[in-house]
Structure 1
Amino acid sequence: MSEPDGTSDAPAPATLATGPGGAVVHTPVMRERIVGLLAPALRAPGAVHVDATLGMAGHAAAILQANPTARLVGIDQDEEALTIAEQTLRRFAGRFQLVRARFDELPDVLDDLGITEIDSLLADLGLSSLQIDERERGFAYAADAPLDMRMDNRNPRTAADIVNTASRRELTQILRRYGEEPNADRIAKAIVAERAIEPFSNSARLVAVIQASLPAARRYGGGHPAKRTFQALRIEVNGELDALQGLLPAALDRLAVGGRIAVLAYHSLEDRLVKQAFAQAASDAAPERLPVVPEPLLARFEALVRGAEKPTDDEITRNPRAASARLRAVQRIRPGSIPFGKESR
């Protein structure tokens, strides 16, 4: 997935090019590192890898190539991405199944396919370069486009709907919660005033209103003034954080012993949710200071990387858009469910 400069949040960790026959060539962030992390879980014949954010299948193709007996379940809500992914994966015919769904629908997807356990899962969060490159989808603030921002065109609500119908208070809450925008109320006030004159339909006018509403220091320094607002609107339109909160416990619950999960996040809101879920999964459920932890209360998972791992300097040099990526990964070491909902220590 990717977040290029001029989009709603972090820079993109992917570079697109065109190969023979016009096929899309996609080099995803931290590809070799992720393949290496997940490979130990995919050695057994028929091992199941889930790519919960398939995109153009850059990671998926590399994982299938490196693990010739593994099979793939690829999930994406973007119909066009699935079409491209199918072409990318043609050489692995018979080893993959692609499903159009939001990734928090993982349990239903697996049940429909008759899969009770999985051996590895990757979630590469954020936008795909495909979504950014199609300007008419309205994700980018650097180019004038319709205020759409839907990852799934079956979703009836667009960014324009939110901008034109949400109250000032609701807009302020969206910008604060999902964009961590310090000037949320000023921007919301300006939007409400301008839409009374004429409803918003395109990104350029919204960007101009945001810029005009901000103090001069914010307008001319500290990154693009519309960045946080566009991030917040995109997250609200697509329910991204709610979906992530649904995916994480479901994915951990379906993982076989020895199985591994890796997640790439691109802004602090995503990474915080992943950090909390993984910390809880890797914590004992016993009361503090208990001399011996009973086996049923021992942690079910262990961390595979220390903290959040970043791309190497070499990778960032080759692809500066990779700089914001943060990788976390865990491995299941014991069977049993995780008591989500309790505070992890």
Structure 2
Amino acid sequence: MDKSGYQATILYVVCHMGLIFFLYPSDLFTAMDMGHWIGIGISYALHTAALYVYLKGLTWTAQKNVVDMFRSTGTFFTWLLLIPVFFYFGIAIIITLRAYSEMLTLVFLSSTPLWAIQLLLIGIAFLMAWQGMASMARTGVLLVILFSFPILFVLCLSFQNVDWYYLLPIIDREQTFHFLIKPDFLVSLFVYAGGFFFLGLLPPSIHISLKKMMLGCLLLLPMFLLSVYLPLLTFGQATAELYEFPMLMTIDTVNITWLLFDRITIFFLLSLMAFAMLYLGVTLWILLTLTKRAIPVIPNLYLLIVLTAGLFAISMAIPNWDFLKKLQGWIIPLRMYIFLIVPLITFIIGWRHKHKASRTTEVT
């Protein structure tokens, strides 16, 4: 039993680390021509506020479970609120699975069939989700111990080819906030939206510390900035926005003669893929938990097999990368619902529960 809150915080950080450096930079480069720190700052501020509101709502209830909280609104409204969550995380797994398989094929598995890579990734996620959240929380701690140093090592070396001239202008005199409604910017919120919902489903054995969680959120801010500004300072805006994976291209330009391996991209990619597979496992566990609440009579293993097979089949049905980008745009409403509405609803229900309990205590 973890009463310190470190396991939940580490799991939250690891899930985001598995997403930040892959899909986020290209979407932000497409959405903004300059002043990228403004877009990062606004997105991060919204994420921090959503995380705080969500956790605050959870701490105000005796049962720190978001499904049980929503049940206080009635069975019909409970599933009305949770069905969009289920569909969003199902599509999130499909997007992540297909995108990372494409990336692995591009970098060093060019002769491996795409279906084999996807089967391997979804198979590992299946095993993680089958073992349960307690096992994944311990795995998150192990991954941080194993891969934190290689990631920091590679990030430091990535400054080798930066040109600080590309940092200017820091802000455009005619800067507007029109980018906030651009589809590419809303798609970039993918890395902010789905990495904290699982906190409302954690078992009682894994404690959540609000202070440690906010500290973990603060540690993510440099990662968001580095994921965008390292490619920007290396290639410039005009070139960086042409790449699907700008961060990987940035690391591939690093030349180190004293290292045993020619390409440090392998270290970086494998480290972050370990984090990404944990994210897939956690997300699949969320789907399993929601499905189990809806169909309690079917054993967990059977539900997990059906979910895994269905998601793998759908991911294989995606024809190309362009369709995958369109899919990311189609789920923008679901993303905003997860990102903003669910934390707000949780906060309101928790606030009502707190004040109801206070009134009961006063009457007693």
* TM-score, with structure 1 as normaliser: 0.26
More strand by share: 1
Q: Which has the higher helix share?
A: 2
> Normalised by the size of structure 2, how large is the TM-score?
0.25
